[in-house]
Structure 1
Amino acid sequence: MTVYLHEGDLPDGLDFGASVAVDSETMGLRFRRDPLCVVQLSSGDGNAHIVRLNRPDYDCPNLKALMADRGVLKIFHFGRFDIGMLELHLGVETGPVYCTKIASKLARTYTDRHGLKDVARELAGIDLSKAQQSSDWGATELSQAQLDYAASDVLHLHVIKERLDAMLVREGRMALAQACFDFLPMRSRLDLEGWDEMDIFAHS
């Protein structure tokens, strides 16, 4: 595994192929309070590219172009938050998207454990460490532990997606999952517009 750290943006000419795993690190979980600090990506080749973003201008044309590229599938785990952060701070609508957490909830109905750590352990045989999850991602210099943690969140998403796809097809739920993925950017936009804590589909 090689972890590449990029300051401000992805380098010119970097090709992730037809699909790229994406995750982000922020200073917290509130959209308009907490800034987007880091975006990490992997093509599933065992390498990770980590972009430490320039704040507050977020001048990263290569990263923005990749997120908006309709020819590249973006694979997330709990994409609802990351997609919202990318739209809020980078001004791009990310798509098309796939969310392994949604896929897990539709396919792994025998469990209520759908966090990345649990899904990775069962489907990829990987034991992820979450020790750096709550650390200072806005620091001027990221530690090796932070870089390794950020990389681990994207390195295995391609394998997890492959295993979940097989389960979704087996259970006849792939079309349902795809409809959810198609709606996900709009669900993130509802969060940004203030409906983050309300289920607008509920009766009450």
Structure 2
Amino acid sequence: MLIDSTEALASFVGRAAGAGALAVDAEFMRERTYYPRLCLLQLATEREAVAVDPLAGVDLAPLAPLMRDAAVTKVFHAGGQDIEILNRVFGAPPAPVFDTQVAATLAGFAAQASYQDVVASVLGVTLEKSQRYTDWSARPLAPEQVEYALDDVRYLIPLYREMRRRLESAGRMAWLADEFERMADPATYAVDPEKQYLRVKRASSLRGSSLAVLRELAAWREREAQRRDIPKRWLVPDETLVEIARRAPKREADLVGVRGLSEQVVRRHGRAIIEAVERGLATPRELWPVIERPSSRRTVSAEVVDLMAALVRARARAHGVAPTLIATRSDLEAFAEGDRESPLAHGWRHAMVGAELEGLLRGEIALSVSEGGVAATPVERGAVKREDGDEA
């Protein structure tokens, strides 16, 4: 069913209230804008599925209370971008949420398993892929396009029910709580312009005042792209931003000839670019940003990381998940260095193996070979071994 009026949407919301779970998916375009442009919003309960057309002038306001109804779980598959869009539309992300792709990783599926693959495996339904590259901003929508879009939510509720059953049976539902709370947290979708320099390609090639200049340039570009709702690359590409930061030009005329910087951008934004450079150069030395490089940051020995990796592999095998889904070697190195932002420090990864890794790093857990695998056992305090093997 295609909803192309606010009244029809309000009617659906009335029927969906109290449903317990609401499947949600969004079709959007962002190739020519900074913010994703919502083109179609698919919703489903266990009884019906609808496609809401915001480009037909439908006011989505009647949907806002349902999106924040604590009694209705909003179900997504790989819903990060969808939730980002809805956060902007409604001023807050949907809550509570359940993501079947995230759940699938703990139910034996590969990381980032596709909706089609999970539906086929769990529900035995083969979904069409013919409209995968549809321009969802084009109107009118053909009936087959609407049906294709509705398939993205038709099977989400039964998939959600089965995923819950499997995870509850395995005692893993609680592991997902932190991840789903993060997805429903407005802070997750907040963009800090002052930190965007960290996302600039080749930013790590700069140091000192040059990196301070890049920070100011990237913050200016982010705010200007937001203001004009255009892709950042349309203003100044990453490579050009780094080159400007390296040169630190003093005058607008010095910008002419910088590769990747058009004359139109210089005319329109030259003064703002120079002002950003000036702010960066005026930054006190003690406030210069620093991007740590792996070669200088890592102090944990390779042997320690090898032990950690062995424990991760053992726990991954026991729980039927891929080791790389739990942690990469870089993740283990950072965790051993005390990175409290590491995924291993939170959520299901911490429950599965992170807590044991902390014990291993503190010397409270020893690894040994047992039945062809790795066993972790508590270390008895006071039983200190000498190099000759005798107890002290």
TM over 0.5: yes
Take 2:123 and 2:67, find their aligned partners in 1: how far apart are those partners? Answer: 26
Give CA-to-partner distance per residue, 1:93-127, whole Å, 9 cap, x none: 21111110110012225x44611010000001111
Give the unaligned 5+ runs of structure 1. none
Corresponding residue for residue 39 of structure 2:
37
- CA shift at 1:168, angstroms? 1.0
Take 2:107 and 2:182, find their aligned partners in 1: how far apart are those partners? Answer: 18
Shift of the 30–180 alpha-carbon distance from structure 1 to 2, 3 Å rule, reads farther
Take 1:85 and 1:29, find their aligned partners in 2: how far apart are those partners? Answer: 15
Higher relative CO (CA 8 A, sep ≥ 6), structure 1 or 2? 1
Corresponding residue for residue 193 of structure 1:
191
Corresponding residue for residue 77 of structure 1:
77
Corresponding residue for residue 134 of structure 1:
133
Give the unaligned 5+ runs of structure 2. 200-330, 332-339, 344-392
From the two aligned structures, give the one with the greater helix fraction.
2
- CA shift at 1:5, angstroms? 0.9
Give CA-to-partner distance per residue, 1:138-190, whole Å, 9 cap, x none: 1231111210111100011111112211221232211011222122123x743
Corresponding residue for residue 217 of structure 2:
none
Shift of the 63–29 alpha-carbon distance from structure 1 to 2, 3 Å rule, reads farther
Corresponding residue for residue 106 of structure 1:
106
Amino acid at match of 1:67: M
Which range moves more in the overlay, 23-32 or 144-153?
23-32
Corresponding residue for residue 60 of structure 2:
60
Corresponding residue for residue 172 of structure 2:
173
Corresponding residue for residue 155 of structure 2:
156
1:21 to 10, 18, 23: 23
Does the Cα contact within 8 Å between 2:42 and 2:150 map onto a contact in 1? yes
Which range moves more in the overlay, 70-79 or 57-66?
57-66
Shift of the 30–66 alpha-carbon distance from structure 1 to 2, 3 Å rule, reads farther
Does the Cα contact within 8 Å between 1:76 and 1:97 map onto a contact in 2? yes
Shift of the 173–30 alpha-carbon distance from structure 1 to 2, 3 Å rule, reads farther
SS of 2:25's equivalent in the other structure is strand
Take 1:156 and 1:112, find their aligned partners in 2: how far apart are those partners? Answer: 20
Take 1:41 and 1:31, find their aligned partners in 2: how far apart are those partners? Answer: 25
Take 2:25 and 2:103, find their aligned partners in 1: how far apart are those partners? Answer: 16
- CA shift at 1:71, angstroms? 2.1
Take 1:29 and 1:73, find their aligned partners in 2: how far apart are those partners? Answer: 31
Does the Cα contact within 8 Å between 1:80 and 1:185 map onto a contact in 2? no
Which range moves more in the overlay, 190-199 or 26-35?
190-199
Take 1:90 and 1:31, find their aligned partners in 2: how far apart are those partners? Answer: 19
Amino acid at match of 1:7: D
Corresponding residue for residue 144 of structure 1:
143
Take 1:40 and 1:142, find their aligned partners in 2: how far apart are those partners? Answer: 14
Shift of the 31–69 alpha-carbon distance from structure 1 to 2, 3 Å rule, reads farther
Root-mean-square deviation (CA), in Å? 2.9
Shift of the 62–85 alpha-carbon distance from structure 1 to 2, 3 Å rule, reads same
Corresponding residue for residue 293 of structure 2:
none
Does the Cα contact within 8 Å between 2:36 and 2:85 map onto a contact in 1? no
Take 2:70 and 2:21, find their aligned partners in 1: how far apart are those partners? Answer: 10
Shift of the 30–84 alpha-carbon distance from structure 1 to 2, 3 Å rule, reads farther
Does the Cα contact within 8 Å between 2:23 and 2:45 map onto a contact in 1? yes
Take 1:175 and 1:29, find their aligned partners in 2: how far apart are those partners? Answer: 37
- Number of residue pairs matched by the alignment: 196
Give CA-to-partner distance per residue, 1:29-76, whole Å, 9 cap, x none: 79834301111111022x311100148x87321122221222211111
From the two aligned structures, give the one with the greater strand fraction.
1
User: Which protein is bigger by CA-based radius of gyration?
Assistant: 2
Amino acid at match of 2:161: E
- CA shift at 1:191, angstroms? 4.3
Take 1:29 and 1:170, find their aligned partners in 2: how far apart are those partners? Answer: 42
Q: Is it true that 1:86 corresponds to 2:86 in the alignment?
A: yes
Which range moves more in the overlay, 128-137 or 146-155?
128-137
Take 1:190 and 1:184, find their aligned partners in 2: how far apart are those partners? Answer: 7
SS of 1:172's equivalent in the other structure is coil
